[in-house]
Amino acid sequence: MFLYWSAVLRRVSVPGLALGAILGVGTATVDLVDGLGWRQAASGAVTCLLLGYLVFALFVSTSETVLAQRVARSHGGVPDAAMFRFPCAREVRLPRKHSATAAALANEVLGHARATNAVRIEQVLERGGGDVYLIAVGGAGARVAAHLDAVVEGEEVVVRIKARPLRCWKQLDGGASWGVARALESCARATLRERGLQRS
């Protein structure tokens, strides 16, 4: 867990420093307007920069780690840096033992996810062949954009899943995208098992 926390801390360091710098400049400006000397203004600016950075970085890192730990625990894992590498990608690749079209497989995986409530699917945006684009709700209510792609490649069935925060600029989502990708992967494996496509 500490490794995940420190990885998040590194990721939020730049925004934290930017916030601290804004606070520091604001404090220095107020001190100079109030007639304090440059030395006192600089001291106040440095103090605010450090405090702003520490409070922001520690708060975000800790809250992100707590959320990610809950998501990881629900999937039998522990938080790691892969939880905020976007898109979070998973793949199921199994021998094809029965006739199955890509579109039928994708629909069955989606149906299994809804029936078991493994993933809360908010909206299906687009569907075509074995491709399904959807919005799901992950850990702590974070909205996730997911893409499920089922293909039949010769004697294999391949289901690829990608998930990322709905807002492209987000760098952290408390493990929500990772959790949605893992849940859809489990649904894909269960669907293929039901069809008799599992490894013997």
Rounded Cα–Cα distance for residues 3 and 39 (Å): 39
Predicted TM-score (pTM) of this structure? 0.84
Rounded Cα–Cα distance for residues 172 and 165 (Å): 8
Q: Is the four-CA dihedral 58, 84, 188, 108 of positive or negative sign?
A: positive
Q: Which two tokens stand for residue 108?
A: 């069955």
Banded model confidence at residue 68, pLDDT cuts 50, 70, 90: very high
State which amino acid sits at residue 55: V
What is the per-residue DSSP string for 147-189?
Answer: EEEEEEETTEEEEEEEEEESSTT-S--TTHHHHHHHHHHHHHH
Lowest mean pLDDT among 39-43, 100-104, 148-152, 180-184: 100-104
Lowest mean pLDDT among 13-17, 28-32, 74-78, 93-97: 93-97
Q: Which two tokens stand for residue 152?
A: 């039949």
How many Cβ atoms are within 10 Å of 156's Cβ, its own excluded? 12
Banded model confidence at residue 197, pLDDT cuts 50, 70, 90: low
Residue 75 has pLDDT above 60, yes or no: yes
Residue 122's nearest CA partner among 131, 113, 89, 167 is: 113
Mean pLDDT, the chain, as a whole number? 89
SS3 label, residue 97: coil
Question: pLDDT tens-digit profile of 39-57?
Answer: 888 998 999 999 999 999 9
Question: pLDDT tens-digit profile of 80-113?
Answer: 888 888 999 999 988 876 677 888 889 999 999 9
Rounded Cα–Cα distance for residues 148 and 179 (Å): 14
Instruction: Please report the pLDDT score of residue 154 as a whole number.
Output: 81
Rounded Cα–Cα distance for residues 66 and 82 (Å): 16
Tell me the percentage of the chain whose pLDDT exceeds 70: 96
Cis amide prior to 165 (ω within 30 degrees) = no
Query: Longest Cα pair distance anywhere in the chain, in angstroms?
Result: 82
For the chain, the first-to-last Cα distance in angstroms comes to: 36
Domains in the chain, start-ordered, CATH in brackets?
Answer: 1-75 (no CATH), 85-198 (3.30.310.50)
Q: Which two tokens stand for residue 200?
A: 């013997």
Q: What is the mean pLDDT of residues 163-175?
A: 91
